[in-house]
Amino acid sequence: MEQRERSGSKKRRRSRCLLVGAGVAVLIFIIVVVAVAVSLQDKTDFKTTFVRRCEEFTSKDKQLDCETAWTAFEKAYVGKDPCEVPMGAYDPLIAATPFKPSCNRMMFWSKTKDVVHDFTAKKDCFVTLEDTLLGSVLDGLTWCGKEGSTETFTTGCPGWTQCEHNPVRSFWNRISAGFADAACGDVTAMLNGSITTPFHPASIFGSIEVKRFNSTKMRTLNVVLVTDDTSPVANCSNPSLKDLQKELDKGIKYFCKEVTDSKIEACGSDPQKPCGSCW
Ligand SMILES: *[C@@H]1O[C@H](CO)[C@@H](O)[C@H](O)[C@H]1NC(C)=O
Ligand SMILES: *[C@@H]1O[C@H](CO)[C@@H](O)[C@H](O)[C@H]1NC(C)=O
Ligand SMILES: *[C@@H]1O[C@H](CO)[C@@H](O)[C@H](O)[C@H]1NC(C)=O
């Protein structure tokens, strides 16, 4: 009786062991399958995302072939050391997908990304770089190539500040330059009035865009200095804004207006408010 019970519990223990072992094996198998799937997806997904986003965008205007855009894009960095991709590597891409001029509606920004995109998402008044084909397709993505490889990688790429000539940073610098080259008519720039230097010479706006503004096409630069309702740090007399005026191509008229962020939010929310004159 006692003997049988003991051998029975031994058997039960053994089968429990087998069950746990099988469970662990299944779990490991699932983990491996998922990891392989994720890594495969990682490699094919970037082009898929690019083409899908591009086709979503161009469904509005059927002038562009997204496969051609992808080929021009990929050429800039594939097979290269990810720290040796200069801005100029994207010149053929810009040539293949030129910016459509949107005179009087172009909006530049520096350190105000969320407020600006919150506004432009609600009202179709302004066009930011992220509303253009290339800007919208690549916004939020990371990519790089590798020497001796024909693939696009999305992990293990150098960070924004890790090396200057990385594929992502050079891309944003190059398309910012292209967007600024296209600036025409009355142009708006939203700068941050909650920091001591709203116009920072090292920002993309300060180091690239402002230098490209050309008075043969551009009439005015309207700075909207977005201030905090309660404690504004900078106003339109801020010394950095004097530097901005000095940088501007002679012949471009300059205006500056302080606008609170709640006012901008109100302008975005009210469908009755006209585009330009809300602030
Ligand atoms: C201005 O910059 C500050 C500090 O980086 C940030 O907290 C704030 O959200 C920015 N303001 C706007 C309008 O984006
Ligand atoms: C503006 O454009 C004209 C004509 O294309 C060119 O000659 C001039 O150098 C440009 N100026 C700037 C500041 O880029
Ligand atoms: C702008 O700010 C400066 C320094 O904070 C202050 O001295 C000046 O009075 C302000 N100007 C206006 C017009 O509010």
Compute the average pLDDT of residues 241-264: 96
Q: Domains of the chain by range and CATH?
A: 2-277 (1.20.82.10)
Q: Which atom of ligand 2 is nearest to the CA of 249?
A: 13
Best probe residue, ligand 1, of 117, 118, 195, 262 (max atoms within 8 Å of C-beta): 195
Compute the average pLDDT of residues 146-161: 95
pLDDT at 30: 55
Q: Which residues line ligand 2 (CB under 6 A)?
A: 214, 216, 249
Query: pLDDT tens digits, residue range 34-51?
Result: 555 555 555 558 999 999
Two structure tokens written together for 211: 């230098």
pLDDT at 5: 45
* Residue 235 Cβ < 6 Å to ligand 3: yes
Q: Which atom of ligand 1 is nearest to the CA of 190?
A: 13
Task: Say if CB 110 and CB 200 are below 8 A apart.
Answer: yes
Distance CA 87, CA 103 (A): 25
Does position 246 have pLDDT exceeding 50, yes or no?
yes
Q: What average pLDDT does the structure give for the chain?
A: 87
Paired residues of 107 in beta bridges: 188
pLDDT at 15: 61
Best probe residue, ligand 2, of 210, 214, 221 (max atoms within 8 Å of C-beta): 214
Please count the CA atoms within 13 angstroms of the CA of 12 that sit on its side-chain side.
Answer: 6
Query: pLDDT tens digits, residue range 253-278?
Result: 999 999 999 999 988 888 777 776 78
Residue 221 Cα to ligand 3 middle (Å):
21
Residue 118 Cα to ligand 1 middle (Å):
13
Does position 6 have pLDDT exceeding 50, yes or no?
no
Buried b (16+ CB within 10 A) or exposed e, 122-155: ebebbbbbbbbbbbbbbeeebbbbbeeeeebbee
The model carries a pTM of 0.83
